[in-house]
Structure 1
Amino acid sequence: MDKYEEKGQSLLKRVVLAFKWLLSFWLIVIASTFGFKTTGSILIEHGLQKAVVFNPVLVIGLPLAALISLALVLSLEQRAENIKFKALGFEFEGASGQIILWVICFVAISLSIKLFV
């Protein structure tokens, strides 16, 4: 590998790392905006307030479960270069591994919410 290929690989790693940090930043911005808008709507609109009082798991719990599972998958992906696992005769790696892991995390968190509520 010559020096230009090494520089290209280094630049690519830095761009991927910057994208991951930007994605994490935007996730925080979107989650906080969702939280503020939901809280403001609950306090102002009586219809949404009734919905939250009647079924808070549906209005607040499931979106938070989605965000928590996304944060878990993103943090695992930042610790390890590539997420890959084998289950039930299938092999998942790369983007498909992340998607399947997100679905598994979301279903597990949603079922635990349903179990304890």
Structure 2
Amino acid sequence: MSVSKKENVFVASRFVLPEHREMYLSMREDDKLVPMPILEQDELESFHYQLRDAGRENYAVAITWWKREKNGLGTTCRMWGKVEWVDTNSRKVKLLTDEDVQWIPMDTIIDVRS
């Protein structure tokens, strides 16, 4: 397997300061950031219906949401669990797994799968 010099900049150079390496890796992470997807109103309504139904009928769902990182860009996160609570006042969903509890803002949800 061949690795280009551009991708293998630290192997090509024997002496790299830790702060330069950290800055380079940070820039590579920034390349992975994406803008928040724009969803249609019917998609959002479908997600809200699925979340309420999953909470009422007690079945697990996989929720994908967008998390802001910097400069209006972010990453997508995904979690599978039971919808414990849908708080319509603060517009958050409480998702419960065996190990974790996560409050997910409803305005950042980009997909719900049962």
Please say whether Structure 1 and Structure 2 have the same fold, judged by a TM-score greater than 0.5. no
More helix by share: 1
Q: TM-score, normalised by structure 1?
A: 0.28
Q: TM-score, normalised by structure 2?
A: 0.28
